[in-house]
Structure 1
Amino acid sequence: MTPRDPSSENGALPVIVNPPHLHDPTPNGYSTAVVTPGTGRLAFISGQGGQDRTGALSPDFGAQVRQAYDNLAAVIAALGASPDRVVKLTVYVVDHDMSKLGVLTKNVMRIFGGSLPAQTLVPVPKLAIDPMLFEVEAVVLLE
Structure 2
Amino acid sequence: MLRNEPIFPANRHALYEQHGYSAAIRSGDLLFVSGQVGSRPDGSPEPDFAKQVQLAFDNLMAVLAAAGCGPDNIVDVTTFHTNPEAQFGDVMAAKARVFAVPPYPNWTAVGATWLAGFDFEIKVIARCPIQ
Provide TM-score, normalisation by structure 2. Answer: 0.72
Structure 1 residue 92 corresponds to structure 2 residue 74: no
Structure having the higher helix fraction is 2
For 1:48, which of 19, 27, 36 is the aligned residue?
A: 36
Give me the identity figure in percent.
35
Offset at residue 111 of structure 1 (A): 1.5
Asked whether 1:135 is paired with 2:105, we answer no
Contact 1:91 1:122 (8 Å CA) reproduced: yes
Which secondary structure does the structure 2 equivalent of 1:53 belong to? coil
Deviates more, 1:109-118 or 1:45-54: 109-118
Partner of 1:103: 90
Query: Alignment partner of 2:62: what SS?
Result: helix
Give me the whole-angstrom Cα distance separating, in 2, the residues matched to 1:140 and 1:42: 6
User: Are 1:59 and 2:47 an aligned pair?
Assistant: yes
Q: Shift in Å at residue 41 of structure 1?
A: 1.3
> SS at the partner of 1:81?
coil
Q: Deviations over 1:16-60 (max 9, x none)?
A: xxxxxxxxxxxxxxxxxxxxxxxx711100000110222121222
1:24 alignment partner in structure 2: none
Residues 73 and 111 in structure 1, CA contact (< 8 A), matched pair in contact too? no
Amino acid at match of 2:48: D
CA distance in 1, matches of 2:108, 2:127: 18
> What is the number of equivalent residue pairs in this alignment?
101
User: TM-score, normalised on structure 1?
Assistant: 0.66
Task: State the alpha-carbon separation in 2 of the partners of residues 119 and 52 from structure 1.
Answer: 25
Structure 2 gap ranges (5+): 1-27
Q: Which runs of 4+ in 1 moved over 3 A?
A: none
Task: For residues 87-141 of structure 1, give each alpha carbon's deviation from its aligned partner in whole angstroms, at most 9, with x where no partner exists.
Answer: 01100001221x32111111111122214211000001111x1x21110000010
- Name structure 1 gaps, 5 residues minimum: 1-39
Supply the RMSD in Å over aligned alpha carbons.
1.3
Q: C-alpha separation between the residues in 2 aligned to 1:56 and 1:111?
A: 23
Match of 1:83 in 2: 71
- Aligned residue number for residue 124 of structure 1: 112
- Where 1:84 maps in the other structure, the secondary structure is helix
